[in-house]
Amino acid sequence: MEIKSPQFKKNAKAALADEQLQKALSHVRSKFIEKRATAVRELDCFNELRDNAVAIKKHTIKHLDLYLERFEEKVLEQGGQVHWAATARDARGQVLDICRKIAAKTVTKGKSMISEEIGLNEFLEVNDVTPIETDLGEYIIQLRGEHPSHIIAPAVHLNMDQIREDFREHHTELPEDRSLEEPISLLQEARGILREKFLGADVGITGANFLIAETGTSVIVTNEGNGDLTQTLPRIHIVLASIEKVVPTLEDTSQILRVLARSATGQEMSVYTTLSSGPKRGDDPDGPDEFHVVLLDNGRSSMLGTEFEDMLRCIRCGACMNHCPVYHAVGGHAYGWVYPGPMGSVLSPSLAGIENTGHLPNASTFCGRCESVCPMRIPLPKMMRHWREREFELHLSPASQRRNLKLWAWFAKRPKYYRLFSRLSHLALKMLAGKSGRISFLPLAGGWTRFRDMPGPEPKTFMQAWQDRSTRDQPQ
Amino acid sequence: MSSRGEILDRIRSAVGGVATDKMRKANVERRLKRHPVGILPWTYKNNDQVITQFTVKAKKADSTVERCKSADVSKAIVRFLKKHNLPAACRIGADRKLKNLLKGQEAVLEITHGPNDGSQLTGVSCALGAAAETGTLFLVSGKDNPTTLNFLSENHIVVIHKKDILKHQEDLWVRLRRKYGAGKLPRTVNLITGPSRSADIEQTLILGAHGPQRLHIIVVMN
Measuring CA to CA, which residue among B101, B82, B136 is closest to residue B221?
B101
Q: Tell me, yes or no, whether A342 and A389 share the same domain.
A: yes
Give mean pLDDT, residues B96-100.
95
A41-50, A99-108, A359-368, B50-59: which range is least confident on average? Answer: A359-368
Q: Tell me, yes or no, whether A370 and A260 share the same domain.
A: no
DSSP per-residue string spanning A237-294: EEEEEEGGGEES-HHHHHHHHHHHHHHHTS-SS-SEEEEE-SS--TT-SSS-SEEEEE
CA pair distance B218, B162, nearest whole angstrom = 10
B62, B194 contact by CB (below 8 A): yes
How far does B113 lie from chain A, in Å, by closest CA?
A: 11
Q: Considering only alpha carbons, which residue of chain B is nearest residue A46?
A: B41
Most A CBs within 10 A among B54, B166, B203, B204, hence the mutation to make, goes to B203
CA pair distance A319, A334, nearest whole angstrom = 18
DSSP per-residue string spanning A284-344: -SSS-SEEEEEEE-TTSGGGTTSTTGGGGG-----HHHHT-HHHHHH-SGGG-SSS-HHHH
Q: Tell me, yes or no, whether A76 and A14 share the same domain.
A: no
Q: Is B152 on the interface with A (CB under 8 A)?
A: yes
Coil, helix or strand at residue A211:
strand
How far does A248 lie from chain B, in Å, by closest CA?
A: 7
In this structure, is residue A295 part of a structural domain? yes
Query: Which residues in B lie closer than 8 A to residue A62 (C-beta atoms)?
Result: 15-16, 24
Give mean pLDDT, residues B28-36.
97
Query: Which residues in A lie closer than 8 A to residue B183 (C-beta atoms)?
Result: 74, 214-215
In this structure, is residue A157 part of a structural domain? no
In this structure, is residue A82 part of a structural domain? yes
Q: Tell me, yes or no, whether B16 and B81 share the same domain.
A: no
A171, B218 contact by CB (below 8 A): no
Q: Considering only alpha carbons, which residue of chain B is nearest residue A188?
A: B209
Q: Tell me, yes or no, whether A297 and A332 share the same domain.
A: no
Q: Tell me, yes or no, whether B180 and B84 share the same domain.
A: yes
Quickly state the pLDDT bin for A398 (edges 50, 70, 90).
Answer: confident
Q: Is B82 on the interface with A (CB under 8 A)?
A: no
In this structure, is residue B42 part of a structural domain? no
Question: Which residue in B42, B150, B210 is closest to A194 by CB distance?
Answer: B210
Residues 55-74, chain A: which have Cβ within 8 Å of B?
56, 59, 61-70, 74
Q: Considering only alpha carbons, which residue of chain A is nearest residue B3?
A: A86
What does the pLDDT read at residue A283? 87
Quickly state the pLDDT bin for B24 (edges 50, 70, 90).
Answer: very high
Q: Does the beta-carbon distance from B28 to A66 stay under 8 Å?
A: yes
What does the pLDDT read at residue A270? 98
Q: Using a pLDDT cut of 70, give the percent of chain A over it.
A: 100
Q: Is A189 on the interface with B (CB under 8 A)?
A: no
User: Which region, left, alpha or beta, applies to residue B137 given φ > 0 means left and ψ of -120 to 50 means alpha?
Assistant: beta
What does the pLDDT read at residue B213? 97
Instruction: Find the domain containing B51 and state its range.
Output: 47-220
Residues 190-209, chain B: which have Cβ within 8 Å of A?
190-204, 206, 208-209
Tens of pLDDT along B143-178? 999 999 999 999 999 999 999 999 999 999 999 999
Q: Tell me, yes or no, whether B132 and B29 share the same domain.
A: no
Q: Considering only alpha carbons, which residue of chain B is nearest residue A62?
A: B15
Measuring CA to CA, which residue among B127, B76, B121 is closest to residue B98?
B127
Q: Does the beta-carbon distance from A305 to B190 stay under 8 Å?
A: no
Q: Tell me, yes or no, whether A211 and A278 share the same domain.
A: yes
Q: How many structural domains is chain B composed of?
A: 2
Q: How many structural domains is chain A composed of?
A: 3
Question: Which residue in B27, B37, B194 is closest to A251 by CB distance?
Answer: B37
Quickly state the pLDDT bin for A454 (edges 50, 70, 90).
Answer: confident
Residue A323: Cβ-neighbour burial (10 angstroms; 0-12, 13-18, 19+): buried
Residues in chain A: 476
Query: Which residues in A lie closer than 8 A to residue B141 (C-beta atoms)?
Result: 281, 284, 286-287
Tens of pLDDT along B60-87? 999 999 999 999 999 999 999 999 999 9
CA pair distance B24, A61, nearest whole angstrom = 11
Q: Tell me, yes or no, whether B58 and B156 share the same domain.
A: yes
Q: Tell me, yes or no, whether B28 and B135 share the same domain.
A: no
CA pair distance A116, A312, nearest whole angstrom = 18
What does the pLDDT read at residue B120? 93
Q: Tell me, yes or no, whether B53 and B129 share the same domain.
A: yes
Q: Does the beta-carbon distance from A69 to B8 stay under 8 Å?
A: yes
Which element (helix H / strand E) includes A187? helix A183-200
Q: Tell me, yes or no, whether B26 and B136 share the same domain.
A: no
Which of A397, A432, A452 is at the close of a domain?
A397
Instruction: Find the domain containing A13 and state its range.
Output: 1-35+318-397
Continuous H helices in A4-111: 8-17, 19-27, 33-41, 46-62, 64-77, 88-101
Residue A467's Cα: distance from chain center in Å? 47
Q: Tell me, yes or no, whether A436 and A291 share the same domain.
A: no
A and B: number of Cβ contacts within 8 A: 265
Which of A270, A301, A332 is at the close of a domain?
A301
In this structure, is residue B68 part of a structural domain? yes
Q: Tell me, yes or no, whether B17 and B82 share the same domain.
A: no
Measuring CA to CA, which residue among A431, A450, A430 is closest to residue A440?
A450
Whether residue A151 is predicted with pLDDT greater than 80 in this model: the reply is yes
Tens of pLDDT along A414-425? 999 999 998 999
Quickly state the pLDDT bin for A179 (edges 50, 70, 90).
Answer: very high
Exposure string over B44-53, b if 16+ CB within 10 A, otherwise e: eeeeeebbeb
Query: Which residues in A lie closer than 8 A to residue B196 (C-beta atoms)?
Result: 223-225, 271-272
In this structure, is residue A402 part of a structural domain? no
Q: Tell me, yes or no, whether B30 and B121 share the same domain.
A: no
Query: Which residues in A lie closer than 8 A to residue B193 (C-beta atoms)?
Result: 267-273
Q: Are strands A272-276 and A246-247 parallel, antiparallel or unpaired?
A: unpaired
A126-140, A170-184, A430-444, B143-157: which range is least confident on average? Answer: A430-444
CA pair distance B216, B58, nearest whole angstrom = 10
Cβ-based neighbour number of residue A192 at 10 Å: 11
Partners of residue B198 on adjacent β-strands: B206
Cα–Cα distances in angstroms (integers) from residue A154 to residues A96, A136, B142, in the given order: 25, 9, 34
Q: Tell me, yes or no, whether B216 and B148 share the same domain.
A: yes
Q: Tell me, yes or no, whether B20 and B86 share the same domain.
A: no
How far does B142 lie from chain A, in Å, by closest CA?
A: 5
CA pair distance A121, A103, nearest whole angstrom = 17
Q: Does the beta-carbon distance from A194 to B148 stay under 8 Å?
A: no
Tens of pLDDT along A312-346? 999 999 999 999 999 999 999 999 999 999 999 99
The tally of CA atoms less than 13 A away on the side-chain side of residue A252 is 27
Q: Tell me, yes or no, whether A55 and A117 share the same domain.
A: yes
Residue type at position A183: P
Give mean pLDDT, residues B16-23.
81
Q: Tell me, yes or no, whether A229 and A122 share the same domain.
A: yes
Question: Which residue in A69, A226, A276 is closest to B210 by CB distance?
Answer: A226
Q: Tell me, yes or no, whether A259 and A220 share the same domain.
A: yes
Whether residue A393 is predicted with pLDDT greater than 60 in this model: the reply is yes
User: Which region, left, alpha or beta, applies to residue A203 given φ > 0 means left and ψ of -120 to 50 means alpha?
Assistant: beta
Q: Using a pLDDT cut of 70, give the percent of chain B over it.
A: 99
Give mean pLDDT, residues A29-49.
94
Whether residue A403 is predicted with pLDDT greater than 80 in this model: the reply is yes
Q: Is B180 on the interface with A (CB under 8 A)?
A: no
Q: What is the ipTM of this complex?
A: 0.97
Whether residue A444 is predicted with pLDDT greater than 90 in this model: the reply is no
Give the helix, strand, coil percentages of chain A, each rounded to 5.
Answer: 55, 10, 35
At A222, which CATH number? 3.40.50.10420
In this structure, is residue A378 part of a structural domain? yes
Give mean pLDDT, residues A70-97.
98
Q: Using a pLDDT cut of 90, give the percent of chain B over it.
A: 91
Q: What mean pLDDT is reported for chain A?
A: 94
What does the pLDDT read at residue A470? 86
Whether residue B17 is predicted with pLDDT greater than 80 in this model: the reply is no
Q: Tell me, yes or no, whether A21 and A73 share the same domain.
A: no
Whether residue B18 is predicted with pLDDT greater than 80 in this model: the reply is no
How far does A274 lie from chain B, in Å, by closest CA?
A: 5
A230-244, A325-339, A446-460, B165-179: which range is least confident on average? Answer: A446-460
In this structure, is residue A351 part of a structural domain? yes
Measuring CA to CA, which residue among A273, A375, A243 is closest to residue A317?
A375
Q: Considering only alpha carbons, which residue of chain B is nearest residue A250?
A: B173
Helix orientation angle between A250-264 and A46-62, rounded to the nearest 10 degrees: 130
Question: Which residue in A56, A248, A305 is closest to B14 by CB distance?
Answer: A305
Give mean pLDDT, residues A149-154.
96
What does the pLDDT read at residue A253? 98
Cβ-based neighbour number of residue A196 at 10 Å: 10
Quickly state the pLDDT bin for A475 (edges 50, 70, 90).
Answer: low
In this structure, is residue A329 part of a structural domain? yes
Residues 117-136, chain B: which have Cβ within 8 Å of A?
117-118, 133-136
CA pair distance B203, A154, nearest whole angstrom = 11
Q: Tell me, yes or no, whether A108 and A225 share the same domain.
A: yes
Q: Does the beta-carbon distance from A273 to B31 stay under 8 Å?
A: no
At B167, which CATH number? 3.40.50.10420
Quickly state the pLDDT bin for A292 (edges 50, 70, 90).
Answer: very high
In this structure, is residue B200 part of a structural domain? yes
CA pair distance A454, A451, nearest whole angstrom = 10
Q: Considering only alpha carbons, which residue of chain B is nearest residue A279?
A: B187
In this structure, is residue B127 part of a structural domain? yes
Cα–Cα distances in angstroms (integers) from residue A292 to residues A192, A277, B51, in the given order: 28, 10, 39
Tens of pLDDT along A375-386? 999 999 999 999
Q: Tell me, yes or no, whether B30 and B70 share the same domain.
A: no
Q: Tell me, yes or no, whether A132 and A47 share the same domain.
A: yes
Give mean pLDDT, residues A229-239.
97
Give mean pLDDT, residues B191-218.
95
Whether residue A371 is predicted with pLDDT greater than 70 in this model: the reply is yes
Quickly state the pLDDT bin for A450 (edges 50, 70, 90).
Answer: confident
Which of A301, A331, A362 is at the close of a domain?
A301
Show the beta-strand stretches assigned E in chain B: 64-68, 89-92, 110-113, 122-126, 129-131, 136-140, 155-161, 165-166, 188-192, 197-198, 206-207, 214-220
In this structure, is residue A404 part of a structural domain? no
In this structure, is residue B86 part of a structural domain? yes
In this structure, is residue B114 part of a structural domain? yes
Q: Considering only alpha carbons, which residue of chain A is nearest residue B43?
A: A44
Q: In sequence order, what are the residues at sequence separation of 6 or more whose Cβ sits closer than 8 angstroms to the Cβ of residue B116? A: B91, B123, B146, B148, B149, B151, B152, B153
Q: Does the beta-carbon distance from B209 to A223 stay under 8 Å?
A: yes
Q: Is B26 on the interface with A (CB under 8 A)?
A: no
Q: What mean pLDDT is reported for chain B?
A: 95
What does the pLDDT read at residue A400? 86
Secondary structure letter of residue A458 according to DSSP: P
What does the pLDDT read at residue A451? 82
